[in-house]
Amino acid sequence: MTGAGQGIGRAFAHALAEAGAKVAVIDLSADRADEVARELREKGAEAISIQADAADESSVESFVRTTVQAFGRLDIAVNNAGINLNSAAEEATLEEWDMVHNLNLRGVFIACQHEAKVMFPQGYGKIINTASMASMIVPHPQKQVSYNVSKGAVVSLTRTLAAEWADRGIRVNCISPGIIRTALIEESEALAPLVDEWVSNIPAGRLGEVGDLQGAVVYLASEVSDYMTGHNLAIEGGQTLW
C-alpha cells in the first residue's frame, strides 16, 4: 500500500488489515509509515512499515522485494501515492507537470510492473490503483490540469494492464474518489473556502469521508471481485452525474 501514511491510504490500510490482510505500509515519510503500521499491529494485524519514494524505480523495486521477503508472497497491491498541484493551464510549469506525472502516472506504472512480475508465477493477484473523479469530469472551481490529465491516464493504464494480464490471473482495477474530506482540504487556505461550492455540486449533499472508500478497496482486493477487471469504480456522491 503506497501513500499509506495518511488520508485515503491510511484508511485503505486499516480496511485491509481489518479484513485479515498482512499490510506493508509504504510512505515517503518514515514517521507516518511507522505510526500507521503501529496502529495496525495494535488491532492485531501483521504489518510492517517501509519508507520509500513511489516515484523512484529503485525504491519501488526495493519495497516490493521487502514485502515479499516479509510475508512470503504478494497477493494485493494498492498504488495510492499521489500529488496534486493547483494552477491554471496557461500558468502550469513543466516542472509542475513532471512532478505530478512522475508520481501519479510513471510511479504507478513502475509499481504495477514490479508487482505483476511477482504475481505472475502465482497465477493470481489484485492490483488496485487510485485514480480520481477528475478522470471523468473537470472538477471546479479549482484548476488542476496536471492532476486531471495524470488521473485520466491512470484509468487508461489500468484498463490496458487489465486486458494484457487477465489471462495470467492478474486483476487490475482502480478507484476514483470524489472530493474526500481529509486534512489536506481542512488545513489548506486555498481549498477550505471551496467546500460549500463543492457540496452544492454533489447530489449526495456532502463531501466524501475516507470511510466511504474502505468497502471498495476490500471488495476489489478479495475473491468476490475475481470477475472484475479494468474497471474504474467511482465513489463521488453522484458528482459526475451533473
Which sequence positions are flagged as catalytic? 147
Residue 144 grid coordinates: 488542476
- Asked if residues 3 and 210 have their Cβ atoms less than 8 Å apart, the reply is no
55: Cβ contacts below 8 Å, ≥ 6 apart: 81, 102, 103, 106, 107
Count of alpha carbons within 13 angstroms of residue 216, beta-carbon side: 23
Which residue, 71, 70, 5, is CA-closest to 38? 5
Q: Is the peptide bond before 121 cis (omega within 30 degrees of 0)?
A: no
Q: Give the C-alpha separation, 86 to 96, whole Å.
A: 9
Map grid coordinates 521487502 to a residue: 66
- Asked if residues 164 and 108 have their Cβ atoms less than 8 Å apart, the reply is no
Q: Give the C-alpha separation, 56 to 181, whole Å.
A: 28
